[in-house]
Amino acid sequence: MQASRPERAALVSLTTGSSQRVDPELHLEELSGLASAAGAIVVLRAMQDRQAPDPATLIGSGKAEQIAKACEEADADVVIVDNDLSPAQGRNLEKILHRRVIDRTQLILDIFARRARTREGKLQVELAQLQYALPRLVGSSDALSRQGGGIGTLGPGETKLETDRRLIRYRISKLKGEIAEVQARRGHLRARRARREVPTVALVGYTNAGKTTLFNALTGDDAVASDALFVTLDPLVRKVKLPDKRQILLSDTVGFIDRLPHQLVAAFQATLEEVAGANLLLHVADAAAPDRERRDAAVLSVLDEVGAGRVPTLVVFNKCDLLSFEELTRLKSMYPAAVFVSALRGMGQTGLLDILASRLAMDTAVVQLTFDPESPEHRKAIADLYRQARVLSHVAVEDKVMIEADVPRRLLDRLARVVTVVELPA
C-alpha cells in the first residue's frame, strides 16, 4: 500500500530582481497545479528572494539546508523547483536535500508524457524529453560522473556514458524523422482543406482557460474538458455551422503556459502549425484570472515563436460568470473589440458565432449563378455553396436553378470553372 501512495512534493520558488514584478504566490499556485496534474500531493511550499541565482544551488546553501529540514518534517518524497536548474545545480541540491529534485521543465514534460494518448503526441513528448535529458546525462550518477585524468582512468562507466549519449542521439534523429512524416501528412490535410476553401478557426490560450469547454459548446462535441492543466495535447478539428449556414472548421489545440519549455515548442511544431495556418485565431482568456495580463503575454510569446503572430486574432474572455457586474463592465471598457462568454454556462455563444460569421465574411461578393440540377458536378457546387457562402435566393426556373449568394472571393475562381459567375452590384 505504501508504494502506491501519491508522491508528497515540496515546492520551491526563487524570486530574483528580474521576476519580482509578479506575485511569487501566483507562481507557486501555478506550480502547485502542475504538481497536482502530475499526481503529487503538495505538503510544503518555500520561497527564496535573492538578487541573483546561486550558481551552485540556485537558492543558496543556507536556504537549501533549511528546506532539507522542513522536507524531513513534512515527509516529502520529491522537491519541485519552479525555476530551470542546470545539471550541476540539480546534483548539488539532491546532495543537500537527500531527495529527488526536478525543475519546472522536467515537471511539465512529465505531465505531457502522462497526457499523451495518440502516437503523434507520444512521439512529440518523447522527443522533448530526450532533448532535455541529453545535456544532463553527464553526472546522472556517481559512477558515471567520475572522470579520470591519467592513463588507465577511462573506465567502463565512461564508455557506458558515451554509449548512452549515442543511443539518445540516434533515437532523437529517428523521432525527428517520424515527426517529419507527421508534419508532411498534416501539410497534405491542410492543403486539402485549403482546396475546399473551408475557413479554419483555431482556439488558443493559456492552459485551463476553458478552450475545450468552449470547443464542445460550439461544436456539440464531447472532448474531455477538466479543471486541470494540459488536458488537451492532440489537436481536435470539428465542423461548426455559422448563423448564415456556412461551415467552418474549428480546432482545439494544446494550452500554453508561462515559460513553456522550448523543447516542447520545438517538438510540437507539427501540431502548432495548425495554429499558424488558421484563417482566424480565437484567443481564449480566463477573465477571472488574477494574473490575466501575464498569461496573455505568455500566449502571445508562444504564438510569435510558432509563426502565428500575424494571424488575425479575436480575443474571447471566458468564465465571465465569475466576475461581478462592475468587474465585467470595466473589462468591456478596456477591451471593446473582445467577446465575453461563459462556455460552461452557455453565455455569449450566439454573439460569438455572429461575430465569427462577420469576421469570416469580409471580402465577399454578391453573385448570381445558374446551375443544371441534372449535372453531378453542378449539384456538388450547389452543396459547396450552401456550406461556404450565404445563399440569398434559390429559384428553380424550368430545367435550371438560379442562385444569388454572398460568396467569399476566394471561392469565385473555383466556381467559375464550373458555372458562369455574374457579380451583382453591392
**Cβ atoms within 10 A of the Cβ of 92, count?**
20
Q: Has residue 149 got a pLDDT over 50?
A: no
Mean pLDDT, to the nearest integer, of 16-26? 70
Nearest-angstrom CA–CA distance, 365 and 247: 18
Percent pLDDT > 90 in the chain is: 32
Query: For residues 9 and 76, is the Cβ–Cβ distance under 8 A?
Result: yes
At 138, the pLDDT band (50, 70, 90 cuts) reads low
Q: Has residue 224 got a pLDDT over 70?
A: no
The pLDDT of residue 102 is 92
At 5, the pLDDT band (50, 70, 90 cuts) reads confident
Mean pLDDT, to the nearest integer, of 19-47? 84
- Of 110-124, 129-143, 281-295, 353-367, least confident by mean pLDDT is 129-143
Chain mean position to CA 138: 31
User: For residue 260, which of 109, 132, 47 has the smallest C-alpha distance?
Assistant: 109
Nearest-angstrom CA–CA distance, 399 and 184: 45
CATH number of 364-423: 3.30.70
The pLDDT of residue 134 is 85
Intrachain domains 198-360 and 364-423 with the same fold: no
Mean pLDDT, to the nearest integer, of 53-75? 94
User: For residue 280, which of 203, 366, 193 has the smallest C-alpha distance?
Assistant: 203
Percent pLDDT > 70 in the chain is: 85
pTM of the model: 0.73
Nearest-angstrom CA–CA distance, 341 and 316: 7
Q: Has residue 148 got a pLDDT over 50?
A: no
Top pLDDT among 385 and 117 is at 385
- The pLDDT tens digits of the residues spanning 380-415 come to 888 878 877 788 899 988 889 999 988 877 678 778
Average pLDDT, rounded, for the chain = 82
The b/e string for 225-259 (b: 16+ C-beta within 10 A; e otherwise) is beeebbbbbbbbbbebebeeebbbbbbbbbbbbbe
Mean pLDDT, to the nearest integer, of 127-155? 60
- The CATH number, out of the four listed (3.40.50.11060, 1.10.3130.10, 2.160.20.10, 3.40.50.300), of the domain defined by the range 2-111: 3.40.50.11060
The pLDDT of residue 220 is 84
Q: Where are the domains of the chain?
A: 2-111, 116-180, 198-360, 364-423
The pLDDT of residue 335 is 94
CATH number of 198-360: 3.40.50.300
